Each structure stands twice: as C-alpha cells, then as structure tokens.
C-alpha cells in the first residue's frame, strides 16, 4: 500500500515510487513529523522527535508523558498559533472568546484509493489506481474547530500533494486568520532557498541563497500570483546542482495572494509553510461551514534540480492539464498585436491571414481592439460587442473569410477588467473592485471588475457566449493587465471584507470552468501582462500561458530558463516577433521553439529571404512538436551561470531522439567548445542531422562534441537534431 498506518507505533507512512513521508501520533494526540526524503523500508523512528532538553522558555504539555517534549521544539506536522509553539504556525483561528489560540490534535483518519476534487479550486487529478489519499481529522478540543489534513501520493511519480479542509464544528462563529495548505519539517537547515522573482517583461529569474536562522519568504499581495514572485520554491542541498543532490520542490496550485516561508530555528531545524498569504486575509466561518485551502504540490529527488523540474513537468502534463488540448496538437498561430496593435480592420486581418497561410501558419488571433469603441487602451473593457466600424459586416464576415483560407480563428478578451469609459461601468459603477470613501486607483486606465459577484460573472459569461454561441471561434487569449487595489466588494458584509481576494479568484476559476464546460473544444491561453499569472492554478484551465510580453530572444532566455524550473515547455507561450536581421530571426525562432511557438508580426513586412527562413522554422516546429511538448528537458548551460552562452535539449521519453539548442549571448574568444549532452541512452547510436555523423550516447554524454565550428557571434544560435541509428 502506498499509504499505511502502523497501529502499534501510530505511524503514518506515505510512499511514492521513490520517496517516503512519515509522521506519527505522539502522546497527547500531537501529530509529529518524522521523515521526508528518499524511500525507506523502515518503520522504526525511535528518538527522531527529540530535539533538546526542556527549559522554561520551551513550554511543555501536560498531555505528554515525556517531560522533555515541547511543542516549541517538536517537528509538529501542522502547528496552531499560541499553544506552546512560537515558530511560524500553520493556522490561527479567532474564536468566540476573541483570542486566536489554535491547537489541533489527532482524532481519526481514513485511507482511500484515488484523488478527490477540491470544491471550487483547481488541483491535480488522478484515476483511482494512480493515487492514494489519506485524510487525517484533527480538532481543537476547546473551540470545536476541525482541520482535515489531506495527503495524496502518486503511484508513478515522486510527488505528494497536500491541502486542508477547515470545519467549524461548534455552535459559534469563527474567523480564520491564517490557514496554510502544508507545513513541512526538516531536521537541518543545510539548504539553499531557491525561488523565481521578476517584473513585467523580466519574469521568473532565478534567486538562490543559503538558508539562515530566521524567516525567509516569498509572497504576493497583488490579487494574482504576480510577475514579482512565483508560487514556487525549492530547498536545495548546499552544493547540489542540475544533476546531483537533494532537492525539495514546492508549488502552490493557486492564482492569488500566496506565501511560502522557510523558518529556521536556533536548533538549525527548518519548517516551510505554504498557502494563502495571511496578510489581508480572514475567512468568516459560521457553525457548520467549511473552508478549503488550495493544493500544495511537493516533490523530492536526490538527483538534482533538473530532475525536480522534469518531475514537475511530467506531473503537470499528465495530472493537471485537462481537456482536448492536453494531448492534441495545438495550431500554429499568428497574433495581430505586435503587427497592428489597435490599428486594424477586416481587410487588414484577412490580408494577415492570407499571407500567414502561405507561410504555413494555422490560426489567426485578433488581439485587443475589436470591441466597443476600442481604438486605444482607455475605454470599452466590459463592452464585449463587436466594433462594426472596424469590422465591417461584423465578426461573422471576418471569421467566414479567415476560415475560407483554411485558417482557424481566435480572439482576445480581458473578462476581469472594466474601463471607466464603458457602457458597462456607466450602468454599473459598483461592479468594479472598490471600498467606500476612497479614490479608486487606476492602472492602464482600467479598473478590476468584481469577480466575486455572481451577477457580474453572469453578465460577462453572457457577453462571451453571445459571440462563441454564434461564431466559430477556436481560441481565446484571456488577459489580466493590472493588480487589485482598494480590495472590496459592494455585496460583502463587513465581517467578510478580508475574503475578497480569495472570493475574486474563486469567481475567476468558476467563470473559466463554466466557459470550458460549455465550449470543450475551445483552446484557452491565459495572459497577465505576459507572465503575471503563470501558475498551476491557471494551467488547470488553460494548457498554455503567455510567458512574457518580452519577445526579444536574448532577454527571453533567463525568463524561459527560470519558468522551466517548475513548468513544462508545452505550457510556455513563446512567439517570434519582427526581426531586424537574419541572425535575429533565426535565434528568435530557435528560442520560441522552446514553448508553444507562434508569431507576432506583420507577414507583409518580411522579405522573401526572411519568409524562406520562417517556412523552415514552421517545418522544424512540426518535426519537433512531440519531442518538445512531451519530451524531457535538460538545461545544459544556464544564462544564470554563464554570461556568454547557454544551451538546452529535449530528449524523447524513449531516448530515441534529441533536439539541442545553443545560443551565444556575447562573443567569447575561446574557440574550442566541448559540450556534453544529457539524458541519452549510453548504448544507443545517434545520427546528427546537421553533420551526418554518428555517435554513441556514451560519447555524446561523456566526451561531448565540439561545437566550435557552429555560429558563435553575439546573438547567433544553432540547433542539432539527433535520431537513433537502428
């Protein structure tokens, strides 16, 4: 059994294919963590709870026989606030007496096959024979608050997920002021804290620094996961690298305010908590009501950071992304934004489509500017009806002409926003996020619409359906171009005021789910000023997300490398924009292949020479689609480590093919470059398409190959494609 309860020792043992997670029920019904790491056969963990001798500043519990046991020292599995543990707690609930002392103790447990859905929230999924789930019911005996700790282990991956269902089992109201999805205890702090930071057009750069005593955290309070910090972090053993060493990876399946904190104490023990950001959050629970936390994903490997990434990639490709486009090949698109911005009409778009078709593109996407009176960014968000002054004859005529060319058709929406200059805002000024008696902050000349309200969501859904029900639309780009300020809703009671951020994202999830339920063939791509909401919660609804508004190839390299630490290539929206030189076009294409691949340009501005290169890029896209979308990524040379050049490869699951890419960021005078490949089969022979040479996998990985003769000036790049020689 993947999950067992050893009755005589009161030990829970959770085993994936290669990892074990172990905790126990101690005297006083305390849940205490024992081990998380490489898979173990053992069940004897005598002495693992002990941390140090009891002193008066580490209070003990009269419920525990061992006088040296203190909640302040023990590796508690899910610690409450104010009951003897002074470290960062996992939960704090204000009770009817007005205090927030919270103390959860074990009551019962249940082990089930499969993995249940989380009500209203995205989460990974599994068939009944692919996962096993443990429910551990805990209770605060004084207040009647219950926390049901949910653990799921996957059969075929070293992955465990966790979440918490809070229940008010008392006869009085409660206010949840903090509730994390997971808390993990490790017995030392010999790790680096690795995370992804950034800004607009510079998302998900890499930060790695040693843990220190005290707290280190990343978070968002912006109403989205944000450009600035991604809800991903890893604890990486000192000295571990891409291919070797212990790595614990953590990711939150959530698209709003989050917090991931590593708390290291005097005894050099580490506790990592992850979940909803408690700043600005409270949830009012009436008797009998429940609150479900988002899902936390946990990965452990002793084979380095690269293997951690590949585990996340496989998990999300197989157990998070859903629907038709999970495995079906997605169309090669051209987006009108960088080609025309707001300046287009039917004839221009049809011309784009006709020229794109000749180059091998398969779908035209009409971006911002098609609705209301939208000729610039200051108006019309919320008025999702066609501007027939631009699209003469309406959207139906445009789609008919595009489809007649053999192209698919997509369009842009920003459903969570409203312009002050819009018919919708004039009719419903209370529909934007706001609080009374405060000026409404504005960004990009727009407000955020109140997605916590059912009437608002119904209106937006009806407007979108009026188009999708009547016209043959294949794709929607769903954008989100500002963060939430003055967070409040006209419909929430005063005691619910701090629920708005969570209610907002639940409303967004509900609207996306309703849209996909009604239109199951629709390809949805999310965007938030580029990659401002690139998280697994969003991926549950859209199999791809626009990675960044920055389409400059060399600047994209750290963005894509950073994104790949947790998210697979099949999810990374990546396009080729208008180049200034042949080298730039080639490199933009090579970089964009590491992703969904597409174009953001006016094909009429391409010379015939450039068009020939684009056609070759399209051929390469089709040749390598399965390899890049479903293969294993190996980061070979990182731009975070080397300022001159970087390299990566994709290897097919059966190791029969490899696509290798090398990019020069700066010229380097060293002529000889030997690069060792990764992930191949040592016993197989591989033919290089570009040279015709045949090499063993052993040679490619151990001796490497000399790439000195390939392009190596700044901005230049090349690819090598290897296939198994039978």
> Is 479 designated active site?
yes
Q: Are 514 and 461 in contact (CB under 8 A)?
A: yes
Separation CA 715–CA 553 (nearest Å): 8
Residue 50: the pLDDT is 63
Q: Are 111 and 133 in contact (CB under 8 A)?
A: yes
Residue 47: the pLDDT is 72
Residue 54: the pLDDT is 65
Closest to 624 measured CA to CA, from 593, 661, 591, 587: 593
Closest to 322 measured CA to CA, from 539, 98, 629: 539
Separation CA 85–CA 59 (nearest Å): 8
Residue 568: the pLDDT is 98
Identify the segments of the chain with pLDDT beneath 50: none
DSSP string of 80-118, one letter each residue: BSSSS--S--SEEEE-TTS------EEEEEEEEES-PPB
Q: Are 351 and 334 in contact (CB under 8 A)?
A: no
Residue 170: the pLDDT is 97
Q: Are 115 and 152 in contact (CB under 8 A)?
A: yes
The CA angle 75-79-80, to the nearest 5 degrees, is 155
Please state the pTM of the whole predicted model.
0.98
Separation CA 651–CA 341 (nearest Å): 38
Q: Are 207 and 268 in contact (CB under 8 A)?
A: no
Separation CA 676–CA 249 (nearest Å): 26
Map tokens 């359906």 to a residue. 465
pLDDT digits (tens, 9 = 90+) for 364-413: 999 999 999 999 999 999 999 999 999 999 999 999 999 999 999 999 99
- Which domains can be identified in the chain, with CATH numbers? 3-319 (2.70.98.60), 635-724 (2.60.40.1180)
Q: Are 306 and 634 in contact (CB under 8 A)?
A: yes
Strands 408-413 and 475-478: parallel
Strands 131-139 and 145-154: antiparallel
pLDDT digits (tens, 9 = 90+) for 130-182: 999 999 999 999 999 999 999 999 989 999 999 999 999 999 999 999 999 99
**What is residue 48's three-state secondary structure?**
coil
Separation CA 632–CA 310 (nearest Å): 6
Q: Which of 246, 383, 479, 535 is catalytic?
A: 479
Structure tokens at 318: 């197989």
Q: Which of 367, 535, 549, 602 is catalytic?
A: 549
> Is 632 designated active site?
no
Burial class (CB in 10 A: 0-12, 13-18, 19+), 687: middle
**What is residue 391's three-state secondary structure?**
coil
């Amino acid at each position: 059994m993947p999950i067992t309860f050893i009755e005589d020792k009161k030990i829970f043992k959770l085993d994936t294919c290669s990892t074990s997670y172990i905790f126990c029920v101690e005297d006083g019904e305390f849940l205490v963590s024992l081990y998380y790491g490489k898979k173990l056969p053992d069940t004897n963990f005598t002495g693992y709870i002990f941390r140090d001798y009891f002193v008066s500043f580490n209070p003990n519990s009269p419920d525990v026989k061992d006088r040296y046991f203190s909640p302040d020292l023990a590796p508690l599995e899910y610690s409450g606030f104010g009951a003897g543990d002074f470290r960062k707690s996992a939960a704090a609930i204000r009770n009817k007496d007005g205090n927030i002392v919270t103390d959860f103790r074990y009551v019962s447990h249940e082990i089930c096959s499969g993995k249940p859905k989380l009500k209203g929230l995205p989460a990974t999924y599994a068939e009944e024979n692919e996962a096993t789930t443990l429910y551990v019911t805990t209770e605060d005996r004084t207040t009647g608050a219950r926390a049901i700790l949910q653990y799921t282990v996957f059969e075929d991956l070293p992955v465990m997920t966790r979440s918490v269902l809070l229940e008010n089992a008392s006869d009085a109201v409660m206010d949840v002021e903090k509730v994390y999805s997971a808390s993990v205890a490790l017995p030392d702090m010999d790790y680096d804290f690795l995370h992804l930071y950034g800004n607009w057009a510079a998302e998900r750069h890499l930060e790695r620094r040693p843990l220190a005593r005290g707290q280190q955290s990343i978070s968002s309070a912006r109403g989205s996961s944000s450009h600035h910090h991604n809800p991903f972090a890893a604890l990486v053993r000192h000295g571990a690298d891409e291919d070797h060493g212990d790595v614990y990876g953590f990711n939150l399946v959530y698209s709003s305010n989050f917090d991931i904190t590593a708390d290291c104490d005097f005894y050099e023990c580490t506790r990592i908590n992850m979940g909803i950001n408690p700043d600005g959050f409270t949830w009012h629970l009436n008797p009998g009501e429940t609150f479900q936390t988002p899902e936390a994903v946990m990965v452990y490997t002793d084979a380095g950071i690269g293997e951690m990434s590949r585990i996340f990639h496989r998990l999300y490709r197989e157990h998070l992304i859903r629907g038709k486009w999970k495995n079906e090949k997605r169309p090669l698109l051209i987006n009108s934004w960088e080609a025309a911005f707001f300046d287009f009409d039917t004839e221009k778009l049809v011309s784009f489509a006709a020229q794109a078709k000749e180059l091998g593109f398969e779908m035209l996407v009409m971006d911002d500017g098609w609705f209301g009176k939208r000729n610039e960014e200051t108006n019309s968000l919320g008025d999702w009806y066609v501007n027939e002054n631009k699209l003469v004859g309406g959207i139906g005529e445009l789609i008919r002409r595009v489809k007649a060319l053999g192209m698919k058709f997509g369009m842009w929406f920003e459903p969570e926003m409203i312009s002050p200059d819009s018919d919708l805002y004039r009719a419903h000024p209370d529909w934007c996020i706001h609080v009374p008696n405060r000026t409404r902050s504005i960004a990009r000349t727009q407000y955020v619409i109140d997605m916590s309200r059912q009437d608002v969501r119904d209106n937006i859904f009806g407007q979108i359906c009026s188009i999708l029900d009547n016209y043959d639309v294949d794709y929607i780009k769903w954008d989100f171009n500002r963060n939430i300020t003055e967070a409040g809703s006209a419909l929430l009671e005063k005691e619910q005021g701090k629920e708005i951020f969570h209610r907002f994202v639940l409303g967004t999830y509900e609207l996306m789910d309703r849209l996909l339920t009604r239109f199951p063939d629709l390809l949805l791509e999310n965007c938030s000023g580029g990659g401002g909401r690139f998280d697994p919660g969003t991926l549950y609804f859209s199999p791809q997300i626009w990675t960044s508004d920055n389409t400059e190839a060399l600047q994209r390299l750290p963005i894509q490398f950073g994104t790949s630490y947790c998210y697979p290539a099949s999810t990374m929206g990546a396009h080729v924009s208008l180049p200034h030189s042949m080298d730039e076009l080639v490199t933009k294409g090579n970089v964009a292949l590491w992703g969904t691949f597409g174009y953001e340009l006016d094909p009429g501005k391409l010379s015939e020479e450039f068009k020939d290169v684009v056609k070759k890029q399209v051929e390469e896209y089709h040749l390598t689609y399965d390899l890049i979308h479903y293969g294993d990524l190996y980061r070979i040379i990182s731009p975070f480590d080397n300022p001159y050049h970087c390299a990566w490869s994709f290897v097919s699951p059966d190791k029969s093919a490899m696509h290798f890419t090398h990019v020069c960021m700066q010229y380097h005078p060293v002529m000889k470059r030997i690069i060792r490949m990764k992930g191949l089969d040592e016993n197989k022979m591989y033919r290089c398409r570009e040279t015709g040479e045949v090499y063993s996998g052993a040679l490619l990985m151990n001796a490497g190959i000399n790439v000195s003769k390939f392009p190596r000036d700044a901005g230049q790049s090349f690819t090598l494609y290897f296939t198994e020689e039978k």
